Chain A
Amino acid sequence: MTHQTHAYHMVNPSPWPLTGALSALLLTSGLAMWFHYNTLTLLYLGLLTNMLTMYQWWRDIVREGTYQGHHTPIVQKGLRYGMILFIVSEVFFFAGFFWAFYHSSLVPTHDLGGCWPPTGIIPLNPLEVPLLNTSVLLASGVSITWAHHSLMEGKRNNMNQALLITIGLGVYFTALQASEYLETSFSISDGIYGSTFFMATGFHGLHVIIGSTFLMVCLLRQLKYHFTSKHHFGFEAAAWYWHF
């Protein structure tokens, strides 16, 4: 027997789970060292090892799937389950921040002045830049759908264009949000209003950056002809993440 008689992927031994776990240790201890002892060395080490682990692990997955053919339909099904479960966990992560916001804002405590927004807080006008940001993200949802259909129909130029527009809109959102952060009259230290505002929008912004990066990787792979019109799960995973 020189070949497997099943369609699953028996992954070769890999060091990346270990380096990933070690990078997590360095990141957490690095943060503690930074907060309490004002030293950044361990944190930088953690960031470096984390980036290296992510790059090499995902590079290996691309090699296994695209070049070695290990991603049979049943394997792809498992990858789909994995991505769906991960996104569900992200939904619950944000649910916590929404809970905190509604808990604090629907029944404002007396030390805030018994009102919401609290006394002394001047909120942003939601119908100015926040509305623009909303339209930017909604538009990017339309353009990524265009990209997906173009990919399925084998229209290469269209796909490249649509994906580029999507990434451009994501970057535009990040730039707008950064400028908003610099312009707000309130900060994260301004009581529960500042905390809930910046935790929710901050983690959202981080996820937009992650999603844009994922899409950029997809663009690079698309330019290298990794995707076919029938098999492009990496792109689908990025699109699901982006929509959420």
Chain B
Amino acid sequence: MAHAHSRSGRPEELDQDGRCAQVPQFPAGVEKASPNGDFVWRRCPAPCALALLPLPARFRCSSKMVAAVCASRVSGLLGRALPRVGRPMSSGAHGEEGSARMWKALTYFVALPGVGVSMLNVFLKSRHGEHERPEFVAYPHLRIRTKPFPWGDGNHTFFHNPHVNPLPTGYEDE
């Protein structure tokens, strides 16, 4: 950041880039994204600040013209945001302090135990034993083969399980 303070103290002086010599400048093109209001705005000397008032142009003397340029440079660096002291937490953009801790607790004490309970439920239900597979009936609305599958013999579905999936003609292992 180029510091202009070491140069002449007169507020209306411009440096060789046409920028206000009194105000520390960022290198051209760098955006300042800080939400804090602690910005060069406050370090602008009083004569510059006066020029920010919406005075009619004819009241401005040349020093205020220069100061107006300086102020517009400053607000240009700020973008359209006004300086603020603090920034209210919005849940979408930033995490509130401690919210990660809450979600970690939810993960380990609610979500994962929920998965564990569901796993237990499946395990217990599976211990009831395999039930008899149903007798094969050649319903016309099931095991449809209007066109062969592009794999194998064209007659087996992709996840075919010979124990539970009959072919159109019946179970393979009977």
- Contact code string A186-229 (vs B, CB < 8 Å = 1, else 0): 11111100100000000000000000000000000000000000
Q: For A38, give its contact among B110, B150, B165 (CB under 8 Å).
A: B150
Q: A120-B139, A136-B115, A142-B110 are in contact. Are A189 and B144 (CB under 8 A)?
A: yes
A-B pairs under 8 A by CB, number: 121
Contact B165 A162 (CB under 8 A): no
Chain A, Cβ-Cβ closest to B158: A188
Chain A residues within 8 Å of B139, by CB: 119-120
- Contact code string B104-147 (vs A, CB < 8 Å = 1, else 0): 10110011101101110110011000000110010111111100
Is residue A21 contacting chain B, with contact meaning CB distance below 8 A? no
Chain A, Cβ-Cβ closest to B164: A185
Surface stretch bound by A, among B6-14, B50-58, B61-69, B95-103? B95-103
Is residue B59 contacting chain A, with contact meaning CB distance below 8 A? no
Contact B95 A149 (CB under 8 A): yes
Q: For B111, give its contact among A112, A113, A118, A142 (CB under 8 Å).
A: A142
Contact B142 A191 (CB under 8 A): yes
Contact A128 B150 (CB under 8 A): no
A132→B119 CA distance, assembly (Å) = 6
Contact A142 B100 (CB under 8 A): no
Q: A142-B106, A182-B159, A183-B161 are in contact. Are A155 and B118 (CB under 8 A)?
A: no
Chain B residues within 8 Å of A125, by CB: 125
Contacts of A4-62 to chain B: CB distance below 8 A: 34-35, 38
Is residue A237 contacting chain B, with contact meaning CB distance below 8 A? no
Q: A138-B114, A142-B110 are in contact. Are A158 and B104 (CB under 8 A)?
A: yes
Is residue B157 contacting chain A, with contact meaning CB distance below 8 A? yes
A20→B104 CA distance, assembly (Å) = 40
A139→B103 CA distance, assembly (Å) = 11
Contact A162 B107 (CB under 8 A): yes
Binding site for A on B (CB under 8 A): 29, 31, 33, 94-95, 97, 99-100, 102-104, 106-107, 110-112, 114-115, 117-119, 121-122, 125-126, 133-134, 137, 139-145, 150, 157-161, 164-165
With A149-B95, A158-B100, A185-B134 already in contact, 11 other A-B pairs whose C-beta atoms are closer than 8 Å: A131-B121, A139-B112, A143-B111, A149-B99, A150-B100, A152-B95, A158-B104, A162-B104, A185-B165, A186-B165, A189-B157
Binding site for B on A (CB under 8 A): 3, 34-35, 38, 72-73, 111-113, 118-122, 125, 127-129, 131-132, 134-136, 138-139, 142-143, 145-146, 148-150, 152-153, 155, 158, 162, 165, 169, 181-191, 194
